Amino acid sequence: MAQRETITRYMIIIRRLRKSPATYEEISQCLKQESELQGYDFMISKRTLQRDLEDIALLYGIEISFDFSRKVYHIESEENADLNTRIAEAFELYNSLNLAARISEYVYPEKRNGSGTEMMITIISAIQKRLVVVFGYFKFNEREKTDRKTEPLALREFRKRWYLVARDMKDNQIKSFALDRITYVEVTSHKFTFPEDFNADEYFKDCFGIIRPDDEEEPEEIILSFDQLQGMFIKSMPLHKSQEIITDSADQLVIRLKLYITHDFIMELLSFGENVKVLSPIHLADSLTDIFKNALKQY
């Protein structure tokens, strides 16, 4: 319990300083409020705070400094900010669900199947040690499980689902495998050479999701128009990091994207229904028109 309280305290301090620099008194006030809310004692002395800051730097790569002129603590630098944010979110969700066990009449988490995350530690270890992995995989368009022998390269998340990015040794192609469709994982003793030029962020930079076309294809410029209400959501949660706003008026939001036009991107556009219009390229607009026409035939 003490260890969990300590980690929770770290998260509270990080969260407070991400908002803005804070004095010791302001940090203490935040810890006091959380103590009352969560039923634990997070209060600490200045000396303990200094030790916490050293631990935070070691564990999370977040350097927190004290500005003597303003008498405030502030985040000086942070390694892997996105990953740290996800770790914090996961831990706070864990704490919330622990609390929810006592207040189940108020909290209703979504029921869902396993996501395969129990395999992540094994896969990460194989990636770090450059070891070939063998696993069983079930594709929705195939009736039987197949065994895959791969060189694991990275783990990537898309839409709350985790994927193993690996080179399939059968055809030497880089592919993405959903963890929730992997039935078993076996780490072999066979080493492989990690490609020096592979970077997952770079590999998927022009992709909407987890699908990356063959090298012969090129990303395309896409221009979309959304109605005013849907446009507010698109501005708050961009479709892709290449998103640029062309027009933002009381009637519509027009954006520009540059990415591969893949099945998962088309499915995303279809989910907006009448609230989006493809202005360019024409072949994408034609594809959506054909899909909607065929859908009408179902009725």
Question: 210-227: b or e for each residue (b if 16 or more CB lie within 10 Å)?
Answer: bebeeeeeeeeebbbbbe
- Cα–Cα distances (Å) from 48 to 40, 45, 271, in that order, read 17, 5, 51
Pairing of strands 182-191, 131-137: antiparallel
CA atoms within 13 A on the CB side of 178: 14
pLDDT at 260 over 70: yes
CA proximity to 9, closest of 66, 46, 47, 56: 56
Average pLDDT of the chain, as a whole number: 88
pLDDT digits (tens, 9 = 90+) for 181-221: 998 999 999 999 999 899 999 999 999 999 998 777 899 99
pLDDT at 1 over 50: no
Q: What is 2-100's CATH number, 1.10.8, 1.10.3470, 1.20.1270, 1.10.10?
A: 1.10.10
Residue 275 pLDDT level (bands cut at 50, 70, 90): very high
Query: What is the rounded CA–CA span in Å between residue 237 and residue 227?
Result: 15
- Partnered with residue 161 across adjacent β-strands are 158
Averaged over 69-90, what is the pLDDT?
A: 80
Least confident among 74-83, 99-108, 211-220: 99-108
Query: What is the rounded CA–CA span in Å between residue 167 and residue 149?
Result: 9
| pTM exceeding 0.75 | no
| Residue 81 vs residue 26, higher pLDDT | 26
Query: What is the rounded CA–CA span in Å between residue 90 and residue 67?
Result: 31
CATH architecture of the domain formed by 220-296? 2-Layer Sandwich (3.30)
| Residue 84 vs residue 190, higher pLDDT | 190
Tell me what pLDDT residue 77 has. 86
Residue 91 near residue 7 (C-beta atoms within 8 A): yes
Matching residue, tokens 């896969």: 123
Tell me what pLDDT residue 81 has. 72
Per domain, the residue ranges of the chain are: 2-100, 117-203, 220-296
Residue 6 pLDDT level (bands cut at 50, 70, 90): confident
Domain 117-203 has CATH 1.10.3470: no
Which percentage of the chain shows pLDDT scores above 70? 88
Q: Is 197 exposed, middle or buried (0-12, 13-18, 19+ CB in 10 A)?
A: exposed
pLDDT at 102 over 60: no
- Partnered with residue 149 across adjacent β-strands are 134
